[in-house]
């Protein structure tokens, strides 16, 4: 039973996705199809979809309890310079409010150089251009040695959701993106498989900036792309996470620490993960 619950929990995002599609297909098909036999089949689909959603709800709590506890993995910082941490696992887990898409221990990093000009929230136009942010176009590095198993950079860099109205728009847009699955959530991304079977994902990279393709071998610290604003992103930033699977559909998030970084105004480098609104400086 424990194995069954764990398996359903791992596949919960896929089950929810299929359940929603099944409900919509059944509801629409039952209205437009005239053949009695076929229509009766479509009329059953919404019920199956509801059963699937209830199944996921039933296993959510026991599924979390069955998750294996892992020690933090030491990785190289994906960025260089002074960056501000948001949605950090050092503050809470799951860091982004959900464990879906392998992001339980993910962190968002926003470039915030001393004397920089990062636009403040809710100032200027409702939807700022991404190139107004100092993070846009900054180099992004591999966190681990390994082989690239996912590389995508075709999605456009949209405007920042830089105001209250913009953020409200992003909430609505995010719901629509969920229909498209993790690809539309993480946007352009690169995933690297390390030698010990850990998968390091960098999300929201700039359109047409990927320097590493599927099958390429990379080393930690190697520049693999540029920071962008693709996917479900409020402003240009680097989203970094580790998973136990290559696919964000089924991967569980793994904890990580950055090696050789300075946190805040500390004088020395150390192994750490910055908390929310703490600065990380890496060289």
pLDDT band, very low/low/confident/very high, at 90 (cuts 50, 70, 90): very high
Q: What is the pLDDT of residue 166?
A: 81
How far apart are the C-alpha atoms of 282 and 240, rounded to whole Å? 15
* 218/240 same-domain check: yes
* 42/104 same-domain check: no
Residue pair 256/106 in contact by the 8 Å Cβ criterion: no
* 87/36 same-domain check: no
CA angle (31, 33, 37) in 5-degree steps:
115
Q: What is the pLDDT of residue 162?
A: 83
* 125/214 same-domain check: yes
Q: Using DSSP, how many helices (H) and how many strands (E) does the chain show?
A: 5, 14
What's the domain count of the chain? 2
Q: Does position 126 have pLDDT exceeding 90, yes or no?
A: no
How far apart are the C-alpha atoms of 244 and 254, rounded to whole Å? 7
The token pair that represents 98 in the structure block: 């959900």
More confident residue, 247 or 116: 247
Range of the domain at 218: 73-282
**Residue pLDDT, tens place only, 197-235:** 999 999 999 999 999 999 999 999 999 999 999 999 999
């Amino acid at each position: 039973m424990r194995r069954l619950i764990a398996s359903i929990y791992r596949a919960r995002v896929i089950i929810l996705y299929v359940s929603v599609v099944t409900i919509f297909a059944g509801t629409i098909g039952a209205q437009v199809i005239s053949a009695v036999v076929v229509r009766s089949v479509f009329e059953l689909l919404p019920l199956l979809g509801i059963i699937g959603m209830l199944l996921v709800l039933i296993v959510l709590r026991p599924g979390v309890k069955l998750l294996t506890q892992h020690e933090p993995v030491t990785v190289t910082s994906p960025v260089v310079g002074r960056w501000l941490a948001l949605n950090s696992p050092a503050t809470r887990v799951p860091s982004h409010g959900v464990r879906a898409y392998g992001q339980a221990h993910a962190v968002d990093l926003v470039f915030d150089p001393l004397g920089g000009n990062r636009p403040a929230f809710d100032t200027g136009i409702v939807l700022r251009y991404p190139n107004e942010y100092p993070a846009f176009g900054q180099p992004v590095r591999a966190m681990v040695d390994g082989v690239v198993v996912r590389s995508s950079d075709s999605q456009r860099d949209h405007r920042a959701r830089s105001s209250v109205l913009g953020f409200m728009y992003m909430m609505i847009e995010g719901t629509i993106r969920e229909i498209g699955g993790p690809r539309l959530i993480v946007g352009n991304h690169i995933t690297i498989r390390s030698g010990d079977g850990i998968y390091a994902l960098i999300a929201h990279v700039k359109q047409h900036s990927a320097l590493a393709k599927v099958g390429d071998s990379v080393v930690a610290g190697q520049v693999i792309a540029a920071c962008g604003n693709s996917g479900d992103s409020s402003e240009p930033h680097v989203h970094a996470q580790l998973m136990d699977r290559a696919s964000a559909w089924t991967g569980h998030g793994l904890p990580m620490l950055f090696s050789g970084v300075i946190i805040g105004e500390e004088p020395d480098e150390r192994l750490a993960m910055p908390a929310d609104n703490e600065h990380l400086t890496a060289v």
